[in-house]
Amino acid sequence: MMKAAYLHIPFCEHICYYCDFNKVFLKGQPVEEYLQALDEEMNITLQEVPAEKLATIFVGGGTPTSLNEQQLERFCQSINDRLPKAEDSEFTFEANPGDLSKEKLQILKDAGVNRISLGVQTFNDELLTKIGRVHRANDVFYTIETIKTAGFDNISIDLMFSLPTQTLTDFKQTLNAAFSLDLPHYSAYSLMIEPKTVFYNLQRKGKLPTPGEEIEAQMYEILMEEMDKHGLHQYEISNFSKPGFESRHNLTYWNNESYFGFGAGAHSYIEGFRRSNFGPLKKYIESLHNRKLPIFETHRVTRSEQMEEEMFLGLRKTAGVSISKFTEKFGQDPRHLFADEIADLTRKQWIEVTADNIYLTKQGRLLGNEVFQMFLGVFD
């Protein structure tokens, strides 16, 4: 059953040095044609795969709020016309500090958007410049106040650590600034150097002074400790919230459930198939202009792959993998299917197994990627 939809707006007014998402500079782009294509993709897809009322809709990018007021209003209307929403659905828009005018916030509010996710990354202005961000710390405080005044109470911010030249002291100061906002949800990610980014090219030239793995691990431990001290529950490796404010959309991914993905470069998981859309805007728009879905690649997920994904996605959650739910879903006990892997990881004290859960230990969270890799290709 389809519960979720992701929509991608690829336009940005600037490109961050670490970003490898599908994005383009906004200036001179065919925004109107893109929004029309997005509307058509939703139309065709829902005709082929009718959906019950969606529990969560997430609009990401790029920068969705780089759209002007008229474009934003048209886009929101398109979403509401095409996608059936449950009464209590979570409807999230990503935004950048400084992008959200009172007019844009009112458009979002009128359209039923009830959650804002803000890309902050750090409160150190010098570091913001180094990573290619154009906002400053003061913009964050002003934007959050504007969002709250507009009537939004479900607000999340993204933070990053292990940034070039970042110190433990600086990261602690960023966390203190973040906690002063008293928000219900925080996400925090370590810097990943991805191909085709400015940082990747700098690293290859030896010109990217990152703190190193030891400092990165210390930052992550500080993050977990400070979030806990401030009453924020770590429900996933990189996500923390007050009770009831967990990201329902992201939980769709970690619970290995189906979802629609609309837009250039977007990914879907529909009826046992993972598929990705064309990334280039021209190809995406042309395909839909001819009333054809813009599918670049499709992969049928085998039963073995589904079970592997259930493990490594589920282990991202601090609650871990439910043994009873896994058994109900696949008709087999994960403790038997992955006996060797579970025994090895338990011996290393990276996971714990209880009567109905398999989950990462605190040490396991520090080594999450190594744990997840243990469940890849098990049945090959």
pLDDT of 16 reads 82
Q: Using CA atoms, how far apart are residues 311 and 9, in angstroms rounded to an integer?
A: 31
Shortest CA distance to 93 belongs to which of 83, 105, 80? 105
pLDDT of 174 reads 98
pLDDT of 129 reads 93
Q: Using CA atoms, how far apart are residues 62 and 15, in angstroms rounded to an integer?
A: 9
Side chain identity, residue 247: S
Q: In this structure, what are the phi and psi dihedrals at residue 275, rounded to the nearest 5 degrees?
A: -140, 155
C-alpha angle 155-313-327 in degrees, rounded to nearest 5: 120
pTM of the model: 0.95
Cα separations in angstroms, 238 against 146, 159, 233, 356: 26, 10, 11, 23
Q: Using CA atoms, how far apart are residues 328 and 342, in angstroms rounded to an integer?
A: 19
Q: Using CA atoms, how far apart are residues 376 and 380, in angstroms rounded to an integer?
A: 9
Q: Using CA atoms, how far apart are residues 43 and 38, in angstroms rounded to an integer?
A: 9
Strands 321-322 and 357-360, sheet pairing: antiparallel
Side chain identity, residue 129: T
Shortest CA distance to 160 belongs to which of 211, 121, 215? 121
Q: What is the mean pLDDT of each run of 10 residues along the chain (380 residues)?
A: 92 81 85 98 96 95 94 98 96 94 97 98 95 93 97 98 96 98 97 84 86 94 98 98 97 96 97 96 97 97 96 97 97 97 97 97 94 92
E strand spans, 237-291: 239-241, 259-262, 267-270, 273-277
Name all domains of the chain by residue range, CATH numbers in brackets.
4-254 (3.80.30.20), 321-373 (no CATH)
Encoding tokens for residue 212? Answer: 């190193």
Judge whether 7 and 249 are in contact, CB under 8 Å.
no
